[in-house]
Amino acid sequence: MPNCIRCEKPGRASGNINPEARLLKRTSTIGLCANCAVTEFLLSLEPIRHGIEKNGVETALKNANVRKQFEGAMKTGLADMKSEEIDWETIIQNWALPFPDVKRRKKKQ
């Protein structure tokens, strides 16, 4: 599996792809690792991003209630990803890393 296009960490095998998944879908193409996919999801929702950044990334993402709520959203959204795949410390450390622009990501896929 190729490296993540954001953090360059080795990717993981996609495993089974759930066609019913509404968030954090697995892909068989080049893409993001689990941690970068979670970060992208959190950043894409303005109220959530604002709340995390207002309270401090580390404080917000180390909060057990925040993590539990995110796991609930994963279950509700039928996410392909399992909560055990998420490394919250890595998400905190890499929060400010830039994402490749859409053109570059589509080109690699």
**What CA–CA distance (Å, rounded) separates 83 from 54?**
24
pLDDT at 21: 61
pLDDT at 31: 78
Interacting residues of 25 by C-beta distance below 8 A, sequence separation 6+: 17, 18, 79, 80
pTM to 2 decimal places: 0.79
Phi, psi of 10 (to 5 degrees): -60, 140
Phi, psi of 87 (to 5 degrees): -110, 95
pLDDT tens digits along 15-45 = 666 667 666 666 655 678 889 989 998 999 9
Positions of E strands within 1-109: none
CB 19 within 8 Å of CB 26: no
pLDDT value at 95 more than 50: yes
pLDDT at 109: 46
Q: Report residue 2's pLDDT band, with 50, 70 and 90 as the boundaries.
A: confident
Positions of E strands within 1-102: none
